[in-house]
Amino acid sequence: MTAAGSRVVLVTGASTGIGHAAVAHLVRAGFRVWATVRQAADAERLRAEHPGKVRTLHMDLLDDDSVRAVGEEVCAAGALHSVVNNAGAALPGPLELLPVEVLRRQLDINLVGQLAVTQAVMPALWQAREAGDEPRIVMLGSIGGRIAGPVLGPYHAAKFGLVGLTDTLRAELAPFGIRVVLVEPGVIATPIWQRGLSSGDQLTAGLPTGLGRYGRQAESARASATRNARHGAAPELVARAITAAVTDRRPRPRVLVGRDAKVTAALVRMLPARLLYRVTAARR
């Protein structure tokens, strides 16, 4: 493998939270980093934090042209060691009342977008492979891709779908030496929780009769999101796992991050389906 200092990694959603922490860890590990953001101020801040080490790109996963432009610029620059598909969102709402366009938006951001970015930079990953490197594709999943509860149906649907997408991509690329890793964090203290609360408020405001019978479930989800934003694990915990996925000679295919994620995954494996349903079912 080539030296870390000569290798390049693309990190999407690098303005805050896990993506921001991942950029810092990868720079410290000796990589040069492409970092995608949506706001000019975030781009300026990242370049100031890592002078000469980070190049920023504007990208919105809902804008096909911006994804295509990122792919073209990255590929034109040469070989790419890894892509870290981190960008995402959480759009809550009870499924009975959820406008279908909200579900489409969630899937476009957290599932379709991950493949779109990967496809856009595949030529650069192949170039790295042909040069003798061992490229990596890292997908940011969630423990929410193993177990689902009320009100976060769109998010769970996208994360469960990401498991299947990642497993298929891993199987297809394994013969060619391109490794695919799914990182599955538990509760992490990032701005996604506050943004999710804002999205939930917008949904509720747009419903003629409000949340109706789902009001109590929504309040429970809101309280949980508030706790998570304050007391979740630090994003650096996930950033370390991402860096390991990029640097380890033989990275694990799926990486659980956080004690809560590991405990939950164990329960999912051990509990009978009926009991698991009783654990996750909402109470009125």
Catalytic center residues: 155
Read off the tokens for 77: 């620059």
Backbone φ, ψ for residue 58 (5° rounding): -85, 130
